[in-house]
Amino acid sequence: MIPRTQQAAYPPSWQDELKSIITCPKVLFEALELPLSALPSAQQAHALFKVRVTLPYLNRIKKGDLNDPLLKQVLPLEAEQSSPEHYSDDPLAESHHNPVKGVIHKYHGRVLLIAASQCAINCRYCFRRNFDYQANSPSRAQWQESLAYIHQTPSINEVILSGGDPLVLSDSTLSWLIAQIEQIPHITRVRIHTRLPIVLPHRITPALITLMQRSRLNAIMVIHCNHPNEIDNDVVQALTAIKHAGITLLNQAVLLANINNNAQTLIALSEQLFNAGVLPYYLHLMDTVKGAAHFSIPESEAIALHQQMQANLPGFLVPKLVREIPHRAHKTLIF
């Protein structure tokens, strides 16, 4: 018998799950029984932007299928090496709206705080895949500067915790950060942008929910889910718990070539999100970030897909189709 002290806790804590993330292309290929002929190019693209996949997400991928819509979001490809000329490292010109380190203030009334420099998963199409997290690396000293900026800017009433993924932070760090934000009188809302309820659903613990619920701030969570296959029972449980706590729950998705660019998938996504307590918020057209051009679809196709959603769904299940235009102080509706 294994001595008690050497037994792993079961079920594993979310912290254990975070530590067992796959960060090596070879391990990913072996776990999913992928053809090893594609490994060398995956390793090259991994050098540009590291592989990161959680086990709960991996378990939803069909083995041996290079076309799996979830695998395609995390698998490094040779295509990442080449991008059209107008593709850039900073497609949204965020570095021009970076008044102090760790803060992106582009839109009226709300400010983005880079709360964490990592995610639990690396999405290959991420518009921040080349973001300078080094220069914006979050720490308490750094946050104090960001908080001071928010303090001095009374036009801001909403703080968005972004990153990276703010939910990779511990409850004690998050609790400290939210308490600091609560002390700024003109802030009324705190919003968390996170993919963890999808890729690491055990992160949604009763303690986290209490932390958000207890705040004097109106709490909003915006999750990121692109495909109905991303939603399993654990995800539904996590989302339902957030919804039952009275926290507003919204989803943003990105339109991705050969992953979710068909009406049936998008309609099923809206329906399944709503069944789990989530309202669709935004459907984003891809940003022109270097390394992700192969995910892009033409605007005309996006509009046609959006029209099919409108023809088949109640209005509240149709997300706004948007794109980001650099320097514009809001997202731009496409129709």
Ligand X SMILES: *Cc1c(COP(=O)(O)O)cnc(C)c1O
Where on the chain is the footprint of ligand X (CB under 6 A)?
Answer: 104, 106-107, 110, 112, 160, 331
State how far the Cα of 102 lies from the Cα of 146, in Å rounded to an integer: 6
Measured from the CB atom, is 121 or 318 closer to ligand SF4? 121
Give residue for tokens 């295509």.
79
- If one counts every other C-beta atom within 10 angstroms of the C-beta of residue 231, the result is 22
Give residue for tokens 């509009």.
303
Q: How far is the CB of 277 from ligand SF4 (least distance, A)?
A: 20
CB 326 within 8 A of CB 91: yes
Q: How far is the CB of 136 from ligand X (least distance, A)?
A: 13
Measured from the CB atom, is 26 or 331 closer to ligand X? 331
Nearest CA-CA partner of 118 in 171, 207, 54, 75: 54
Choose among ligand X, ligand SF4, none what residue 229 binds, the Cβ cut-off being 5 to 8 Å by kind.
none
CB 97 within 8 A of CB 114: no
Choose among ligand SF4, ligand X, none what residue 119 binds, the Cβ cut-off being 5 to 8 Å by kind.
ligand SF4
Measured from the CB atom, is 87 or 107 closer to ligand X? 107
State how far the Cα of 56 lies from the Cα of 51, in Å rounded to an integer: 15
Q: How far is the CB of 69 from ligand SF4 (least distance, A)?
A: 15
State how far the Cα of 283 lies from the Cα of 259, in Å rounded to an integer: 14
Q: How far is the CB of 82 from ligand X (least distance, A)?
A: 26
Measured from the CB atom, is 105 or 224 closer to ligand SF4? 224
Name the burial class of residue 119, with classes exposed (0-12), middle (13-18) and buried (19+) by CB atoms within 10 angstroms of its CB. Answer: buried
- If one counts every other C-beta atom within 10 angstroms of the C-beta of residue 182, the result is 14
Choose among ligand X, ligand SF4, none what residue 112 binds, the Cβ cut-off being 5 to 8 Å by kind.
ligand X
Q: How far is the CB of 251 from ligand X (least distance, A)?
A: 12
Measured from the CB atom, is 160 or 212 closer to ligand X? 160
Q: How far is the CB of 102 from ligand X (least distance, A)?
A: 13
State how far the Cα of 115 lies from the Cα of 135, in Å rounded to an integer: 13
Q: How far is the CB of 276 from ligand X (least distance, A)?
A: 20
Choose among ligand X, ligand SF4, none what residue 165 binds, the Cβ cut-off being 5 to 8 Å by kind.
ligand SF4
Residue nearest to ligand X (CB): 106
Distances in Å between the Cα of 322 and the Cα atoms of 24, 115, 218, 293 are 34, 25, 25, 17
CB 319 within 8 A of CB 281: yes
Choose among ligand SF4, ligand X, none what residue 104 binds, the Cβ cut-off being 5 to 8 Å by kind.
ligand X
**Side-chain half-sphere exposure of 273, counting CA atoms within 13 A:** 30
CB 303 within 8 A of CB 334: yes
Phi/psi for 321 (5° steps) reads -85, 120
Measured from the CB atom, is 107 or 171 closer to ligand X? 107
Choose among ligand SF4, ligand X, none what residue 331 binds, the Cβ cut-off being 5 to 8 Å by kind.
ligand X
Measured from the CB atom, is 238 or 313 closer to ligand SF4? 238
Choose among ligand SF4, ligand X, none what residue 160 binds, the Cβ cut-off being 5 to 8 Å by kind.
ligand X
Q: Which chain residues interact with ligand SF4 by CB under 6 A?
A: 119, 121-123, 126, 128, 165, 195, 224
